[in-house]
Each structure stands twice: as structure tokens, then as C-alpha cells.
């Protein structure tokens, strides 16, 4: 219901539901009535998660009610893994319920070596945002890991739980991207259980990093920043003489905190956490990707661009983007995210031509990522309506693939 509404129309619907007029909503978000009117009529794109989160908060709804997720498409490739959701849901139920392994019948007992190789291959699909292909393999990997964790003991069980954490992370990313946030919660809960069973501070930090990601997706910014702060406090005693894994998780948690604070429009805190992350990244490998965090110097600079965008500083978005050698990061998802941020920054600067170029570039790198992101969809819809750029036909085709307009 309401699947064909724009984000602005969903805002208007939520406003009317609580009996507010546009003036009351404007006062609640410290904006003008004209701003609210432009948002609701689609003349102003909601191109920042911080603004979407603020609107959801004052209207008393979940972010997904305003974004309209999940989005469904006409072909399996464009549908980005939705076909795997029933199987993923069942696998996560079996992974989180007591005795779940007893409900799974396998022709042969899974082995740690085989599953380790398959998890690594699935992680490559996740980094390239190939969610249809990931959905084809991930539910079965999870089911086999449920069994392996149940039949293993000692060091083998700890290793199996580490694989379960990595696989549950991929389930969390897929679920949140596709708009199935209840599954994101199930996945991250299994990560936390895996860390506890393995009795590993490192796995605990990785699970908490992902928990922050769930809260950021849902607009629960206070919870996200508080968890990041708590995780940093717990990691600090391990930082003296820490190896690269611990230091990378420390840096990645600072990036989570920086994003949370930027969406709360606190520049001082956001930039302090960003600076801490940069300091750590400078001493780590350029291709670092501990626990799928992609924590490295390039990703720290991509976060710098995103943070400027969330803080509402479009000129900083463009100036900081010039410092990012985005081709150096081995992640189609991260590259695509950078170009979406660039597109939003260009639109905020009133430059529709480079904005269109940037969003099309993002889509060429990781279409399944772009076409399921509310911010990217809002940008494409705005560019389609604006029609004052040289890539009109390409934007119209992309909007059609996204079922916009």
C-alpha cells in the first residue's frame, strides 16, 4: 500500500495521519513552510539520511515508512536478491532458535574448510554489491553453519562461530539494503551470539560495528553513537600493542561514530571521530578489509565526503571528493556509495549535469546497490523531474528501471 507514492507524498501522508498541517511540521523540524511544501510536492529532494531520519522521528514513524522500502523490480537481476528473502528468513530463524540445527537435514556433514572457502567467495559478491548472486548462495551457507556450529567443539567451534558472524553480516547488509530491517536485526543478533560463544573480544567488536550499522539504517542515531562509544571504550584496553585486526576495528568504529554524529549535525564530534579513524588508517594496509569493514585510508576519505554531505556542507563535499582516489578501493559497493554522495553534493550545489554524471557512474558500478538506496532513488527522481542536464535520456531510463514516475 502506497508503493507508488513518492517520498514527499509519504511524508505528507504521515503528517496528515497525526493531524498536523505543514506549519506544524515545519516548526517541529525547524524549517520553513515553503521547505515542507517543496518536500511534499517533490520539488525538493530528500538527499540526506539525516533529514529523512529527523522527519521520521518527529512524525513518529519508521524510516522505511517514508522511503517505501522494500522496492520490487520486474526482473530477477534488477530485483537484487529479493527472491532469496524467504530462504534467508528461514535460515536466520533456524540460526537463532534453540535446537535450530535439528530442523536442518543435510546429505553430509559440512566441513570447516569448505565453508570457509564459500564464505570468502560470498564476501566478494557482497563487496561488489551482487546481491542476486549472493542471495543464491547465502541461505544454504547459513544453514550449513547452523549445523557446523552445533556439532563442533573447542577451537573448531570458535572458528565455525567466526564464519557464522561473517555470514550473518552479509545477511544483515542484504536485508537492510533491500528494506527487510527485521531480518537485519535477526542477523546481527546471531552475530552477537557468535561473539559470545567464541569468547572473543575481536568478534564482539565486529558484531557491535554491525549493530551500529543496523541502527544507522533505521535512523536510531542515539543508539548508534552510544554503542560506538561503548565499543571504543571496551576496545581501548586492547589497543596497546594491538595487531592490525584490532586497530582496524577501532578505526571502523570511529567511522560509525562519525556518521552517527554527522546525522545529528554535530560537526565537532563527527570530525573528531573522523580524525581518529584517519590516524589509525594511516598505519594500516591500503587494501584493508577486516571483517568486511573495508577499513583503509580510501574508505576513511569516502566517509569524509559522506559526513560533509550529512552536515549539509555541499562545497565541502566537492572539495573533499577531489582528495579521494576511489578506484583504489576494491569494493564496488564503496565506489558506488562515493558517487552517490557526489551526485547529492552536486545537486545541493545546483549542478545537475555533474550530478547526473555521478549517479549514472554509481549505477554502472553497482546497480543493485544504487537501485535499492532511498537517497539514490530520490536523486534520480529529482534529476528526472529537473530535466536540465545533458543525460536526460539515460536518467529517464534509470528512473524507469527504478519504477519512478
Task: Give the mean model confidence (pLDDT) for residues 176-197.
Answer: 93
Other beta carbons within 10 angstroms of residue 291's beta carbon come to 23
* Alpha-carbon torsion angle 299, 356, 313, 212, nearest 10: -40
For residues 179 and 111, the model is more confident at 111
State residue 1's pLDDT score.
Answer: 38
What pLDDT is attached to residue 12? 94
Q: Which residue has the higher pLDDT, 176 or 303?
A: 303
| pLDDT average, residue stretch 181-209 | 94
- Are 385 and 366 in contact by the 8 Å Cβ rule? The answer is no
Q: Residue 317 has what pLDDT?
A: 95
Task: Give the pTM.
Answer: 0.89
Q: What is the pLDDT of residue 405?
A: 67
- What is the band of 106 on the pLDDT scale with cuts at 50, 70, 90? very high
Residue 311 has pLDDT above 90, yes or no: yes
Distance (Å, whole) CA 43 – CA 8 = 9
Provide CB contacts within 8 A for 121, sequence distance 6+.
Answer: 137
Please report, for residues 86, 87, 150, 300, 395, the alpha-carbon distance to residue 194 in angstroms, rounded to integers and kept in the order given: 23, 21, 12, 28, 44
pLDDT at residue 380 in the model:
93
Report yes or no: 195 and 225 within 8 Å, Cβ to Cβ.
no
Using DSSP's 3-state secondary structure scheme, residue 68 falls into: coil
Rg over alpha carbons for the chain, rounded to the nearest Å, is 21
- Interval 250-303: pLDDT, tens: 999 999 999 999 999 999 999 999 999 999 999 999 999 999 999 999 999 999
Q: Indicate the range of 30-34, 68-72, 139-143, 202-206 predicted with least confidence.
A: 68-72
Report the alpha-carbon angle 316-259-309, nearest 5.
Answer: 25
pLDDT exceeds cutoff 50 at 360: yes
* C-beta separation of 170 from 122 below 8 A: yes
Q: Is the pLDDT of residue 404 over 50?
A: yes
Q: How far apart are CA 167 and CA 161, in angstroms?
A: 10
Give me 73's grid cell.
Answer: 523490480
User: For the residues 367-387, what does the mean pLDDT come to?
Assistant: 89
Using pLDDT thresholds of 50, 70 and 90, give the confidence band for residue 126: very high
Of 41-55, 205-219, 261-275, 347-361, the range with the lowest mean pLDDT is 41-55
Name the pLDDT band for 81 (thresholds 50, 70, 90): confident
Q: Angle of helix 201-218 relative to helix 244-263, nearest 10 degrees?
A: 20
Q: How confident is the model at residue 2 (pLDDT cuts 50, 70, 90)?
A: very low
CA dihedral (119, 123, 126, 132) positive or negative: negative
266-274, Cβ contacts within 8 angstroms, sequence gap of 24 or more: 267/311, 270/307, 270/310, 270/311, 271/307, 273/228, 274/300, 274/303, 274/304, 274/307
**Does position 3 have pLDDT exceeding 80, yes or no?**
no
CA distance 25 to 150: 52
pLDDT of residue 188: 96
Question: Directed axis angle between helix 181-198 and helix 85-96, to 10°?
Answer: 40
Give residue 242's pLDDT band: very low, low, confident or very high (50, 70, 90): confident
Helix extents (H) in 179-326: 181-198, 201-218, 221-235, 244-263, 267-281, 297-310, 314-321
Q: Mean pLDDT in the chain?
A: 92
CA proximity to 164, closest of 201, 103, 206, 105: 206
Going by C-beta distance under 8 Å and a sequence separation of 6 or more, which residues neighbour residue 400? Answer: none
Give the integer Cα–Cα distance in Å for 351 and 309.
15
3-state class (DSSP) for residue 72: coil
Looking at per-residue pLDDT, the higher value among 79 and 24 belongs to 24
Cell of 146: 547452523
**CB distance 366 to 374 below 8 Å:** no
Task: Indicate the range of 56-70, 73-87, 94-108, 185-199 predicted with least confidence.
Answer: 73-87
Min mean pLDDT across 74-78, 216-220, 313-317, 401-405 is at: 74-78
- What nine digits make up the cell of 325? 582516489
Q: Give the model's pLDDT for residue 182.
A: 87
Section 177-182 average pLDDT: 88
Question: How do residues 197-239 score in pLDDT, each as one tens digit?
Answer: 999 999 999 999 999 999 998 888 999 999 999 999 999 988 9
Banded model confidence at residue 46, pLDDT cuts 50, 70, 90: confident
Mean pLDDT computed over 363-373: 93
User: Residue 124's Cα: distance from chain center in Å?
Assistant: 16
Amino acid at each position: 500500500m502506497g508503493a507508488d507514492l513518492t517520498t514527499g507524498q509519504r511524508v505528507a501522508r504521515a503528517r496528515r495521519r497525526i493531524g498536523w498541517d505543514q506549519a506544524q511540521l515545519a516548526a517541529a523540524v525547524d524549517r520553513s513552510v515553503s521547505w515542507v511544501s517543496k518536500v511534499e510536492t517533490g520539488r525538493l529532494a530528500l538527499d540526506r539520511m539525516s533529514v529523512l531520519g529527523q522527519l521520521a522521528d518527529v512524525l513518529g514513524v519508521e524510516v522505511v515508512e517514508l522511503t517505501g522500502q522494500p522496492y520490487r523490480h520486474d526482473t530477477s537481476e534488477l530485483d537484487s536478491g529479493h527472491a532469496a528473502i524467504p530462504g534467508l528468513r528461514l535460515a536466520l530463524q533456524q540460526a537463532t532458535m534453540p535446537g535450530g540445527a535439528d530442523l536442518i537435514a543435510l546429505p553430509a556433514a559440512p566441513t570447516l574448510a569448505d565453508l570457509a572457502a564459500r564464505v570468502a567467495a560470498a564476501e566478494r559478491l557482497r563487496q561488489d554489491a551482487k546481491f542476486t548472486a549472493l542471495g543464491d548462495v547465502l541461505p544454504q551457507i547459513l544453514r550449513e553453519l547452523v549445523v557446523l556450529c552445533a556439532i563442533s567443539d573447542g577451537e573448531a567451534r570458535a572458528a565455525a562461530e567466526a564464519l557464522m558472524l561473517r555470514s550473518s553480516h552479509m545477511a544483515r547488509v542484504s536485508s537492510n539494503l533491500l528494506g527487510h530491517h527485521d531480518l537485519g536485526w535477526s542477523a546481527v543478533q546471531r552475530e552477537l551470539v557468535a561473539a559470545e560463544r567464541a569468547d572473543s573480544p575481536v568478534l564482539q567488536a565486529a558484531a557491535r560495528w554491525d549493530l551500529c550499522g543496523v541502527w544507522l539504517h533505521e535512523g536510531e542515531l542515539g543508539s548508534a553513537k552510544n554503542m560506538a562509544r561503548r565499543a571504543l571504550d571496551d576496545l581501548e584496553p586492547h589497543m596497546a600493542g594491538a595487531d592490525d585486526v584490532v586497530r582496524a576495528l577501532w578505526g571502523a568504529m570511529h567511522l560509525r561514530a562519525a556518521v552517527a554524529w554527522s546525522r545529528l549535525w554535530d560537526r565537532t564530534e563527527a570530525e573528531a571521530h573522523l580524525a581518529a579513524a584517519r590516524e589509525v588508517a594511516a598505519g594500516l594496509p591500503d587494501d584493508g578489509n577486516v571483517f568486511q569493514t573495508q577499513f583503509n585510508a580510501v574508505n576513511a576519505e569516502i566517509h569524509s565526503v559522506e559526513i560533509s554531505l550529512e552536515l549539509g556542507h555541499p562545497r565541502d563535499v566537492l572539495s573533499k571528493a577531489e582528495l579521494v582516489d576511489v578506484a583504489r578501493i576494491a569494493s564496488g559497493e564503496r565506489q558506488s556509495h562515493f558517487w552517490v554522495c557526489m551526485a547529492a553534493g552536486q545537486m545541493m550545489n545546483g549542478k545537475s549535469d555533474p550530478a547526473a554524471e555521478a549517479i549514472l557512474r554509481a549505477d554502472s558500478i553497482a546497480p543493485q546497490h544504487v537501485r535499492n538506496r532511498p537517497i539514490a532513488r530520490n536523486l534520480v527522481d529529482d534529476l528526472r523531474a529537473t530535466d536540465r542536464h545533458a543525460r536526460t535520456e539515460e536518467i529517464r531510463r534509470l528512473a524507469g528501471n527504478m519504477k519512478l514516475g
